[in-house]
Structure 1
């Protein structure tokens, strides 16, 4: 088991010029460099982009639906690295409502888990094929209020890693905390991000 070294890639103009941040969280086996181009697809040229890099390219070793302790300490370390990224942005005078988080697959699971443990008014959350982490959801982990934060959560049916039932549990939890959730299920879609999902994500970033 491992903890994550602090390695956060940045792209775009400084926060002092853009006033808004997009944090991109890569999937298992991928890299910060490989997810940064997603920002261009989402039309986020006017954002300062941040992409934390997982040590060994994996945020936690087992399925996101494994018993939580099996993924420790890697999972807690991953959540800490995302929090360091967010706190670093807030420390530069950027309001949380100008911070957007986006992730794919394992990165989408981390996006939903981090945001639900630190719920506040974010600019938006883009959860591309993911859901809250754990064999069973532990409501005691989730704190705060999203205050109407727009959330996009998408999934293929079936998906090889993420069951639709967990997406639905995640939607219910997020909505109970004040998020405004758009849920999209794509029958037969492979484990990828479709153009339609990109277009829906663009609308959240443009709002």
Structure 2
């Protein structure tokens, strides 16, 4: 938790406060990040938790004292993951919703403990949707005079 706080302080000192920050974690990183959100909530630009949920014994309900107003959160995990039970992912999604986050929960049946192509697409979509100054659409440029594909 201290490492997360330290990095967030560095980002804030560089002018990148929580409202400009998207946090991403996978597996243990997602679990630590979820726990950090519950213990020290701030209004982040976005959060991605891939195969992770808050820490604690299975079946233990958790509560939070703060809020995550408007924070876009993507939780994605496999229903057959042997490390993170889907019940914990669902509980985390529900808690973050109660905290005011805009939560998208995606459960899939991929057997591997990893990040799927579909999850990469979902992360890209969250990043695009939360971008402060989205990049302009690329425009086609004509080839330079004297150049052709056949040369």
TM-score scaled by length of structure 2: 0.79
Partner of 1:62: none
Does 1:143 find its partner at 2:32?
Answer: no
Larger Cα Rg: Structure 1 or Structure 2? 2
Aligned to 1:118: 40
Aligned length: 127
Map of 2:104 onto structure 1:
182
- What is the aligned partner in structure 1 of residue 115 from structure 2? 193
User: Unaligned stretches of 5+ in structure 2?
Assistant: 130-151
Query: Could you say which residue in structure 2 is the equivalent of 1:84?
Result: 6
Give the alignment of 1:1-207 within 5 angstroms: 79-135=1-57, 136-139=60-63, 142-207=64-129
1:188 CA displacement: 3.7
**What is the rounded CA distance, in whole Å, between the counterparts of 2:91 and 2:33 in structure 1?**
15
Calculate the aligned-residue CA RMSD, in Å: 1.2
What is the SS of the residue equivalent to 1:121?
coil
Residues 164-206 of structure 1: CA deviation (Å, up to 9, x unaligned): 1111110110000001111111114310101111111111111
**Alpha-carbon spacing, 1:133–1:120, altered in 2? closer, same or farther (3 Å):** same
Moved over 4 A (4+): none
Q: Does the Cα contact within 8 Å between 1:123 and 1:205 map onto a contact in 2?
A: no
